Chain A
Amino acid sequence: DAMVIQNPRYQVTQFGKPVTLSCSQTLNHNVMYWYQQKSSQAPKLLFHYYDKDFNNEADTPDNFQSRRPNTSFCFLDIRSPGLGDAAMYLCATSRVAGRTNKNIQYFGAGTRLSVL
């Protein structure tokens, strides 16, 4: 009964070869987030979708893009992966209503990306 599902759990790609990571949710949450977690570092927010509105963090590289075709799915596209993009990528969801957001984020198990 997983609520936030990330596929695949492990992804290997070649330097410069585009790769797409997938996240789906059964919670009907209106916000979906992507975080990058490098080894021994804090997870770092890349961007999020609030409904259909895309919100990019200022320091997220242009190499990272995202798509959200519907409420349930969100994709992370890495156009030209470099060795420094090897990391765990975490998807999270939340329900936000109005200005006040008391709700927590639910995380998927992550996709570990290796770049060869």
Chain B
Amino acid sequence: AQTVTQSQPEMSVQEAETVTLSCTYDTSESDYYLFWYKQPPSRQMILVIRQEAYKQQNATENRFSVNFQKAAKSFSLKISDSQLGDAAMYFCAYRSGGGADGLTFGKGTHLIIQP
């Protein structure tokens, strides 16, 4: 079974600064996807960024980028120029490549943005 570990229950960053959220995972599969989801208070979970395991290039979406280290099974999220609206729970998630499998989530990191 796959596992996802987020070792930082809470992180705090000053507005406009850069913060990195950590995630490690364990799997024996070669075909899989990794995701970062954001869950603002009382609102739905939305996708921040996605990485396909077969792609060596790290995914980027505007101010969000990942550092995907496949051999180390590490998938960290970097948020540049942090904004107040970035405050949320961030979940790292894993999904097998084929079929309709659901997501395996980490416990989440609560990100606080200091004005």
Contacts and interface: CB of A to CB of B under 8 A. Distances in A.
Nearest to A95: B100
**A interface residue count range (under 10 / 10 to 19 / 20 to 34 / 35 or more):** 20 to 34
Given A104-B47, A110-B44, A48 B100 contact: yes
Interface residues of B, number: 26
B99 A105 contact: no
Contacts of A44: 105
Contacts of A105: 47, 102-103
A70 interface: no
Interface in B66-115: 91, 95, 97-108
Contacts of A100: 97-98
A59 to B, nearest CB: 10
A72 to B, nearest CB: 17
Interface of B: 4, 33, 35, 37, 42-47, 50, 52, 91, 95, 97-108
B43 to A, nearest CB: 6
A42 B102 contact: no
A66 B17 CA distance: 45
B100 A50 contact: yes
